[in-house]
Amino acid sequence: MARRKKGEAVSGWVCLDKPYDFGSTQAVGKVRWLYNAQKAGHAGTLDPLATGVLPIALGEATKTVSYMMEADKAYRFTIAWGTATASFDREGAVTATSDVRPTREAVEAALPAFVGETLQVPPAFSAIKVDGERAYDLARAGQEVELKARPVRIDSLKVLDQPDADHIELEMVCGKGTYVRALVRDLAEALGACGHLSALRRTRVGAFDETRAITLENLEEMRHKPALLEALLPVETALDDIPVLAVTDEDAFKLKQGRPIVLVPRQVDMLKSQLRVGSRSVSAMAGGVMVALCEMRAGRLEPARVFHLD
């Protein structure tokens, strides 16, 4: 006899406004507990010292987490000039100091060199694995960690404000795997200064942005109320840039069985015009409910992820 899963079959996304000094895993555990959900996961770790958008998937939404990991992200952050640290943020031990305080104009002139496809060496204090161990565990143990440069993509980078000579606030939109702390390190080096990340807020992950974000305090206040379920965003929110095809009940039944469905030529043409370059992913919906995430191949939709949301 199959073991009954603990918790409720709750499915959807919570766009959490993660608080300061709170780990991403902690946040997932708290949200899962509040909803008494059977499954939970998140789309993109945020450091404990960072705040902002942390999309948390519950139930069937966990099947779309891998697609969210590819989503563009936006950050607002502050650099403090004068000291460099081992972790490139304000928690690390000071490794160097400098009297250089770059002007706003100097920073703005340096930013274009970091926009576009570039190579970036991740921070030693990161979750990247080295010989099976997390780099930050090795770094904290005093071991020297050498990580290879990796390709990253920065779409935009601009100065928002310079409140005083010691601090400057910037905004960045980037692709996956881009480290703000590493950017701060490289920018400071390019300007002949010492600097570290003093504040970081993620303002967007794909379709999830600050306008949709909700705090843990608000979720806790809603507990045991219908409003808690109303705070859930639909499973398909994570797939906002993937074409949607409405299918018949008969085709929905086939897809749920793991069987492909045949498309008519006009459907193929319509979907091709909406697909992103290099993508074959299509969302199949029936009666406004997500049925499957499919791959379009040779005039057919083949189910890659099947959803049970009825």
DSSP string, 110-139: HGGGGSEEEEEPPPSSSS-EETTEEHHHHH
User: How many angstroms separate the CA atoms of 174 and 116, rounded?
Assistant: 9
Structure tokens at 86: 């081992």
Structure tokens at 102: 């770059």
Query: Residues with catalytic annotation?
Result: 47
Start-to-end Cα distance in the chain: 23
**Cα angle, residue 68 at apex, residues 66 and 71 outer, rounded to 5°:** 125
Can you say how many angstroms the Cα of residue 21 is from the centroid of all Cα atoms in its chain?
18
| Listed residue (190, 11, 222) closest to 110, CA to CA | 190
Four-way CATH pick for 12-71+207-237: 3.30.2350.10, 3.40.30.10, 3.40.50.620, 3.30.1330.30: 3.30.2350.10
Judged on CB neighbours under 10 Å (0-12, 13-18, 19+), 309 is middle
- Residue 1: predicted pLDDT: 45
User: How many angstroms separate the CA atoms of 181 and 185, rounded?
Assistant: 6
CATH superfamily of 73-205: Pseudouridine synthase (3.30.2350.10)
Q: What residues pair up with 75 in beta bridges, in sequence order?
A: 172, 202
- Residue 122: predicted pLDDT: 85
For the four alpha carbons of 273, 73, 187 and 156, in that order, the dihedral sign comes to positive
Q: Show me where the domains of the chain are located.
A: 12-71+207-237, 73-205, 242-306
List the chain residues with pLDDT less than 50: 1-2
CATH code for residues 242-306: 2.30.130.10
**Is 73-205 in the same CATH topology as 12-71+207-237?**
yes
- Residue 169: predicted pLDDT: 98
Note whether 111 and 235 are within 8 A (CB).
no
